[in-house]
Structure 1
Amino acid sequence: MKKYLIQFKPFLIFISIFFLTYIVLTILYKFYLNSYQLQDLDAITMISGQNSEQLLKFLNYDVIIQKSSQNPWQEIILKGRFIARITEGCNAVSVMILFVSFVSAFSGNLKKTSLFIILGLISIYILNIIRITLLIVLMYHFPRYTHFLHDIFFPLMIYGYVFILWVFWINRFSKYAK
């Protein structure tokens, strides 16, 4: 048994750090969400909607993204037509938690790891705002492809980006890069 523990020590350390980080961050995020009333929408999701609206207005789209008066989501109205809702799941926090957990499990030195996590989180947030914006525009022009765009293409885009960040991290900066 000891032989296997020694043989699989790097894997066991990786799995332990990954799951511990993931569980702790998920619990903290749940506490954060529970601090809001059922009909309220959390601040991160509200800011994501506001940033998406700002980007659409910058691109000269007639858009309104507003908090629903009775429900925990934001309503998206593009050119006077209701397009979709922005809910808590649209803020990419779960993707960010997964990213941080993985990078932490393959950590390098503290300074590089912290810097990579911060820059990675910022880039994931920006990509998510672009994703929401593109999704709104494409759902307006191609409503019959809503399922494909929302459930397949855009999740593939954001998870693909995170995967590329992970590969970059492992090959360039993690303690396993050599």
Structure 2
Amino acid sequence: MDKQERKRLLKVFVVRAVALYALWLVVYYGFIQPEGSLNAWLTNLVIQGTVIGLDLLGYETSGEGSLIYIDNQPVVLVADACNGLELFALYAGFLLCFPGPIRYKAFFIPIGIGVVFLVNVLREIVLSLNYKFFQQTFEFNHKYTYVFVVYGVVFLIWRYWLNRYSAIAKN
């Protein structure tokens, strides 16, 4: 790929990214709304997945409202900001902005969102156990460790798609 083609692909990416970001803001704040039913539904889905996972590990678990309980002790509050919606949009937006065949994007976007959802549920499971058994490390792990892991998974999926199916991979 020559320098001119790289510049063109970069321009396409930047223009698409700016347009998609503007569209996301309009859709999110205008229709979905931060306190809307989609966020509530997704947060509840994350809580249900976390409770199921903890139950499978043998813990007495429940979810009430936004809280997850282990042995009747509240361990994690799953806020709407932690439900993964914005991360799904970021992941999908990257694939949509980068030049490449739409058929691969149509396949990889839902698969990737599913993987990110499962990783987020695993994150909540581990955070719940972290709080129950090692409260002193909870804040650090919540703020840094688990965020790094989730974004790392997203980056690896992006990288795989970029190297395998994007317009760059073809050149």
| Bin of the TM-score, shorter chain as denominator length | 0.7 to 0.9
**2:13 corresponds to which residue?**
14
| Normalised TM-score (structure 2) | 0.88
Q: Contact 2:43–2:82 at 8 Å: present in 1 too?
A: yes
Deviation at 1:6, TM superposition (A): 8.4
Change beyond 3 A, Cα 1:13–1:81: same
List aligned pairs for 1:98-177, cutoff 5 A.
Answer: 98-177=90-169
Q: Supply the AA of the counterpart residue of 1:112.
A: Y
Change beyond 3 A, Cα 1:169–1:78: same
Q: Contact 1:108–1:175 at 8 Å: present in 2 too?
A: yes
Task: Point out 4+ residue stretches in structure 1 off by more than 4 angstroms.
Answer: none
Q: 1:53 is matched with which residue: 51, 55, 62?
A: 51
Which deviations, in whole Å up to 9, do the C-alpha atoms of 1:30-64 show, x marking residues without a partner?
Answer: 32135738xxx611111111111111112211111
Residues in 2 aligned to 1:140 and 1:102: alpha-carbon distance in whole angstroms:
36
Change beyond 3 A, Cα 1:80–1:101: same
User: What CA RMSD, in Å, does the superposition of the two structures yield over aligned residues?
Assistant: 2.0
- Number of corresponding residues: 165
Q: 1:65 is matched with which residue: 57, 63, 83?
A: 63
- Identical residues among aligned pairs (%): 21
More helix by share: 2
Structure 2 runs not aligned, ≥5 long: none
**2:33 corresponds to which residue?**
33
